[in-house]
């Protein structure tokens, strides 16, 4: 991220750098405006949240399984229309590149679990053991006698169907209720995570879970029952078959909430090394944290630190951490889809980084994920559009964030001034429409308020199945060729909710105005491509010389296009740009090719040398 901010700072300092736009109707002689198409960043977070028709399908509590060259992702389907969980089934997605995700369908219906009710498909995890797949999950026991219990279902395929065992593997009554003054009896035995590993020739199969307290037990080789460790003929907490574990060193007042995930790093051959990590949700609203230990069973875990603050849009968070093709991924949920919340969640993915001692670097929830492109948007004076700086509250009453202050400021790019420019919410097929999502408060968008001020808010209205909400128009802008022609490749944004009103920056304030000064409503956009580059086009201002002249190379302008069609303009001197002039002979008349190379792609521009 540090590198990304730096590049954006450099490019916005150039002020006129732009996400390349193409003019689709030129009519400069009249007063009519000219539409301009910006490249959109429609990939990145969230990564799931769709069904086989492409319609929105909310789902949270992600679990991930690496099986060969495929990652399978699992969610509990959120079907709630209110503020409570309604979760009828578990669903699966797959990917082989962490960029393209395939919907695999329902893997188990809660109604098909013999002991469970039909709408409590809470958190789960799938593990592979000896060619079978085991789905550990929690659900409500249907007689209401036991509350939430942990169950297991088995399949021959990672995409199901899974068949549930007839009884829970852990009953709510298997662990004593210790009331820490929060949480509640009936749902302390939720959120299973499993871990299988052979250490020094001995195979260990663990099942851990918990809300308010973290529990762990060993699984028998059948993977569907808990081991009677002391051989007294029964599985019980009292005899030590189930352990309650603590986390040492957690900051005062914070506590283990739920959502444990056991993890250990893998080397390039797939061998585990280093400490064990326990990722978990901490406090309310839930932050993501981790702890470590050398001994997963006799663990008093050492608190490691905070991984992520509460998300901008969901009260809970729940993660899966996996190694895949040499990288570590942090899979989590938020409520960043239209009408999203803690009860209508969606899965996001970001890369997780460790320092050389194995500590985990803090992760900022973001909208661009693994493949999206962030941009900065500067007015004609170089002041950047940014939202106020704030931490996501731990107070439920602050949500949804409906009106966050936005303005412009002359400062270097920070995450508060990074935005993802996406297709227009009011009509995603209209190429000249955009919606502008906050990079570090994903799910919050620039919006025009009734008093013509501009703020940032969550798209919290009920969405139709194709994703449109009543707020869609307020959050959509028509993009026009910049009214101030002195701003190279400038863009003017017209409100779609209030046609004829243009995004205007004056004295640090952002509003929409009718008939604004051209310079107040013309913006430059700078973006950085983070993905594979698929092509570059090289342009040069001076291309014709006389024999004996010196060849200039400080006037290159290169359009870089990535695999998703995102475009970035770079200039001579850009980091990583190699210029090869060896084919140009300035001593002899002729036409030559100057070559440029950037991120594995090359392009040429013709140079003419005249007598």
Q: How far apart are CA 280 and CA 192, in angstroms?
A: 11
Phi then psi for residue 133, to 5 deg, are -115, 130
Cβ closest to ligand FUB, residue 136 vs residue 493: 136
Size of the site for ligand FUB (CB under 6 A): 12
Question: Looking at the DSSP assignment, which residues form a beta bridge with residue 57?
Answer: none
Q: How far apart are CA 259 and CA 210, in angstroms?
A: 7
Q: How far apart are CA 456 and CA 439, in angstroms?
A: 12
Cβ closest to ligand FUB, residue 74 vs residue 85: 85
Cβ closest to ligand FUB, residue 39 vs residue 316: 316
Interface residue with ligand FUB among 113, 123, 475, 596 (CB under 6 A) is 123
Question: Looking at the DSSP assignment, which residues form a beta bridge with residue 499?
Answer: none
**20 Cβ contact list (under 8 Å, min separation 6):** 39, 489, 559, 567, 569
**Shortest Å, Cβ 257 to ligand FUB:** 8
Distances (CA, A) of 351 to 266, 277, 373, 442: 15, 16, 15, 16
Instruction: Please say whether the beta carbons of 26 and 34 come within 8 A.
Output: yes
Residue with token string 């949480």: 183
With H, G, I as helix, E, B as strand and everything else as coil, classify residue 525. Answer: strand
Cβ closest to ligand FUB, residue 261 vs residue 592: 261
Structural tokens at position 443: 């799910």
Interface residue with ligand FUB among 39, 40, 61, 567 (CB under 6 A) is 61
**Shortest Å, Cβ 52 to ligand FUB:** 22
Contact flag: residue 316 with ligand FUB (CB under 6 A): yes
Contact flag: residue 383 with ligand FUB (CB under 6 A): no
Cβ closest to ligand FUB, residue 318 vs residue 474: 318
Cβ closest to ligand FUB, residue 90 vs residue 477: 90
Cβ closest to ligand FUB, residue 318 vs residue 387: 318
**Shortest Å, Cβ 76 to ligand FUB:** 5
User: Strand 300-308 and strand 242-248: pairing?
Assistant: parallel
CA atoms within 13 A on the CB side of 303: 16
Interface residue with ligand FUB among 71, 259, 497, 512 (CB under 6 A) is 259
Cβ closest to ligand FUB, residue 110 vs residue 560: 110
Other residues' Cβ atoms within 10 Å of the Cβ of residue 432:
19
**Shortest Å, Cβ 333 to ligand FUB:** 7
**Shortest Å, Cβ 122 to ligand FUB:** 4
Contact flag: residue 261 with ligand FUB (CB under 6 A): no
Contact flag: residue 289 with ligand FUB (CB under 6 A): no
Contact flag: residue 190 with ligand FUB (CB under 6 A): yes
Cβ closest to ligand FUB, residue 262 vs residue 475: 262
Q: What DSSP character marks residue 393? A: P
Interface residue with ligand FUB among 89, 243, 258, 562 (CB under 6 A) is 258
Q: Is 217 exposed, middle or buried (0-12, 13-18, 19+ CB in 10 A)?
A: buried
Contact flag: residue 122 with ligand FUB (CB under 6 A): yes
Instruction: Please say whether the beta carbons of 386 and 416 come within 8 A.
Output: yes
**Shortest Å, Cβ 183 to ligand FUB:** 11
Cβ closest to ligand FUB, residue 287 vs residue 435: 287
**Shortest Å, Cβ 435 to ligand FUB:** 28
Instruction: Please say whether the beta carbons of 199 and 296 come within 8 A.
Output: no
Contact flag: residue 188 with ligand FUB (CB under 6 A): no
Interface residue with ligand FUB among 35, 89, 104, 191 (CB under 6 A) is 191
Q: How far apart are CA 528 and CA 17, in angstroms?
A: 11
Mind spelling out the 3-state secondary structure of 290-306?
EEEECCCCCCEEEEEEE
Cβ closest to ligand FUB, residue 332 vs residue 598: 332
DSSP 395-439: -GGG-S---EEEEEE-S---GGG-EEEEE-TT-TT-TTEEEEEES
CA atoms within 13 A on the CB side of 139: 37
Interface residue with ligand FUB among 58, 72, 74, 85 (CB under 6 A) is 85
- Per-residue contact string for residues 572-611; x = within reach of ligand FUB by CB under 6 A: ----------------------------------------
Instruction: Please say whether the beta carbons of 560 and 567 come within 8 A.
Output: yes
Cβ closest to ligand FUB, residue 214 vs residue 481: 214
Interface residue with ligand FUB among 40, 205, 318, 425 (CB under 6 A) is 318
Interface residue with ligand FUB among 21, 46, 60, 338 (CB under 6 A) is 60
Instruction: Please say whether the beta carbons of 609 and 545 come within 8 A.
Output: yes
**Shortest Å, Cβ 345 to ligand FUB:** 8
Interface residue with ligand FUB among 46, 49, 59, 76 (CB under 6 A) is 76
The footprint of ligand FUB (CB under 6 A) covers 60-61, 76, 85, 122-123, 190-191, 258-259, 316, 318
């Amino acid at each position: 991220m540090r590198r990304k901010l730096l590049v954006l700072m450099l490019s916005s300092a150039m002020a006129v750098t732009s996400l390349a736009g193409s003019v689709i109707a030129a009519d400069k002689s009249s007063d009519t405006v000219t539409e301009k198409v910006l490249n959109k960043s429609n990939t990145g977070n969230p990564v799931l949240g769709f069904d086989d028709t492409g319609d929105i399908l909310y789902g949270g509590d992600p679990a991930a399984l690496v099986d060969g060259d495929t990652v399978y992702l699992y969610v509990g389907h959120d079907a709630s229309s209110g503020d409570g969980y309604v979760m009828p089934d578990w669903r699966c997605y797959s990917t082989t590149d962490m960029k393209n995700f395939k919907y695999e369908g329902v893997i188990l219906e809660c109604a098909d679990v013999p002991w469970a009710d039909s709408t409590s498909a809470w958190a789960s995890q799938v593990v592979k053991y000896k060619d079978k797949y085991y789905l550990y999950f929690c659900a409500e026991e249907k007689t209401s006698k036991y509350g939430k219990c942990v169950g297991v279902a088995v399949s021959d395929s990672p995409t199901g169907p899974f068949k549930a065992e007839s009884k829970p593997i852990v009953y709510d009554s298997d662990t004593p209720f210790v009331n820490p003054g929060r949480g509640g009896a009936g749902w302390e035995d939720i959120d299973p995570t499993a871990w299988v590993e052979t250490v020094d020739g001995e195979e260990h199969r663990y099942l851990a879970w918990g809300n308010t307290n973290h529990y762990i037990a060993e699984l028998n080789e059948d993977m569907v029952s808990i081991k009677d460790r002391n051989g007294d003929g029964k599985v019980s907490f009292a005899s030590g078959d189930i352990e309650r574990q603590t986390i040492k060193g957690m900051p005062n007042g914070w506590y283990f909430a739920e959502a444990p995930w056991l993890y250990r790093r893998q080397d390039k051959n797939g061998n585990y090394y280093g400490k064990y990590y326990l990722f978990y949700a901490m406090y309310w609203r839930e932050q993501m944290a981790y702890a470590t230990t050398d001994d997963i069973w006799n663990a008093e875990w050492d608190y490691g630190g905070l991984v992520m603050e509460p998300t901008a849009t969901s009260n809970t968070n729940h993660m899966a951490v996996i190694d895949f093709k040499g990288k570590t991924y942090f899979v989590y949920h938020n409520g960043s889809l239209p009408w999203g919340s803690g009860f209508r969640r969606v899965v996001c993915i970001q890369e997780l980084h460790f320092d050389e001692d194995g500590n985990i670097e803090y992760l900022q929830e973001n909208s661009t994920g693994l493949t999206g492109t962030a941009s900065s948007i500067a007015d004609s004076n170089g002041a950047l559009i940014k939202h106020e700086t704030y931490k996501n509250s731990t107070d439920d009453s602050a949500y949804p964030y409906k009106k966050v202050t936005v303005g412009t400021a002359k400062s270097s790019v920070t995450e508060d001034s990074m935005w993802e420019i996406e297709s227009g919410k009011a009509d995603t097929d209209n190429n000249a429409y955009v919606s502008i999502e906050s990079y570090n408060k994903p799910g919050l968008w620039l919006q025009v308020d009734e008093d013509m001020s501009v703020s940032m808010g969550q798209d919290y209205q009920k969405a139709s199945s194709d994703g449109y909400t009543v707020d869609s128009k307020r959050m959509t802008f028509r993009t026009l060729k910049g009214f101030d022609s002195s701003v190279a490749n400038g863009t003017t944004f017209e409100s779609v909710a209030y046609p004829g009103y243009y995004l205007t920056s004056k004295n640090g304030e952002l509003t929409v105005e009718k008939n604004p000064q051209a310079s107040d409503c013309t913006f430059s956009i700078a973006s950085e491509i983070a993905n594979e580059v698929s092509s570059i086009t090289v342009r040069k201002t001076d291309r014709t010389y006389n024999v004996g002249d010196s060849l200039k190379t400080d006037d290159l302008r290169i359009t870089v296009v990535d695999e998703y069609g995102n475009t970035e303009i770079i200039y001579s001197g850009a980091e990583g740009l190699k210029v090869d002039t060896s084919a140009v002979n300035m001593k002899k008349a002729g036409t030559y090719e100057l070559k440029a190379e950037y991120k594995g792609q090359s392009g040429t521009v013709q140079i003419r040398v005249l007598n």
